[in-house]
Amino acid sequence: MSLRLRDPGRNNGVAPEFTVDPKLLDAISPSGDRGGIVVGSGLGGEPLTISALRSVPTRIVLVGGLYLARQVALRAMAVGAWVVIATGRPAAWQVLPKAAGSGPNGRPSPLVQIRRLTPVDLPRPSEDAPLLVVTDGGPTPQDLFPPRSAWQTTVYVLPYLHPQATTVANAADIVLMQRLPVGQAELAARIWRLPPQMMRQLTTLKDDQVVALGTNLWRPLRLVTTGKEQQLLGPVRRGD
């Protein structure tokens, strides 16, 4: 794993600049870091950002609920990413096309596409138009859209940890986990070789808390939401 959380208050180098319709920025929360996605705040209230849209193929695993997955997708849109959602529950994702609005011709914005859980041709990602693919396929997802090129990030939405998801979990560049029951926390400890104190922390997270896990990274953070996001997603919560 190589993806790292970044503090927007520090100089982390130059990231590409994306453009997006101002109406979209009014609807959802923009990132505090160019090219990054704000995922929450630290203990001191500082925004914490992940470099999710990168010049290398990237995998992100989300263990928890639909709220977290939809918020990550919305914030990727805010920094100019194309978003493709492969899901068996398309109605649950209609908030994204709603946030994207319509184009000049009155048709739904092409920025968001909701697809079935079958292989399809994807938009070609580039530095100016990165691609976020969300695979919402349950606890044992098929790897239908593995990231194969620069500027493509694939997000795997796991409602809970399952032993058969070990391969997907181990291949992730970063993992965001909400509170886990004891049995799943024990599985997480086996997958990522976590010490007992980290395993216990996973069982005591509050509904608005997430742990970010990566190489040399263990960072608890608090999910935050803007007023516009609350209108679309409701209050911050765990679960679907």
Output the pTM of the full model: 0.85
Query: Which regions in the chain score pLDDT beneath 50?
Result: 1-3, 9-34
Q: What is the pLDDT of residue 238?
A: 86
User: Does residue 32 belong to any structural domain of this protein?
Assistant: yes
Dihedral angle sign, alpha carbons of residues 4, 7, 8, 13: negative
pLDDT tens digits along 51-70 = 889 999 999 999 998 999 99
CATH number of residue 146's parent domain: 3.40.50.300
pLDDT tens digits along 113-145 = 999 999 889 999 999 999 999 999 999 988 999
User: Does residue 12 belong to any structural domain of this protein?
Assistant: yes
Q: CA–CA separation, 70 vs 75, rounded Å?
A: 9
CA end-to-end span of the chain: 27
Q: What is the pLDDT of residue 5?
A: 61
Q: What is the pLDDT of residue 7?
A: 56
Q: CA–CA separation, 9 vs 18, rounded Å?
A: 20
User: Does residue 237 belong to any structural domain of this protein?
Assistant: no
What are 22's two structure tokens? 């101002």
Q: CA–CA separation, 155 vs 189, rounded Å?
A: 21
The b/e string for 198-230 (b: 16+ C-beta within 10 A; e otherwise) is bbebbeebeebbbbbbbeebebbbbbbbeeebe
User: Does residue 238 belong to any structural domain of this protein?
Assistant: no
User: Does residue 240 belong to any structural domain of this protein?
Assistant: no
Q: Specify which residues 153 forms β-bridges with.
A: 58, 132
Query: What's the number of domains the chain is made of?
Result: 1
- Structural domain boundaries enclosing 107: 5-232
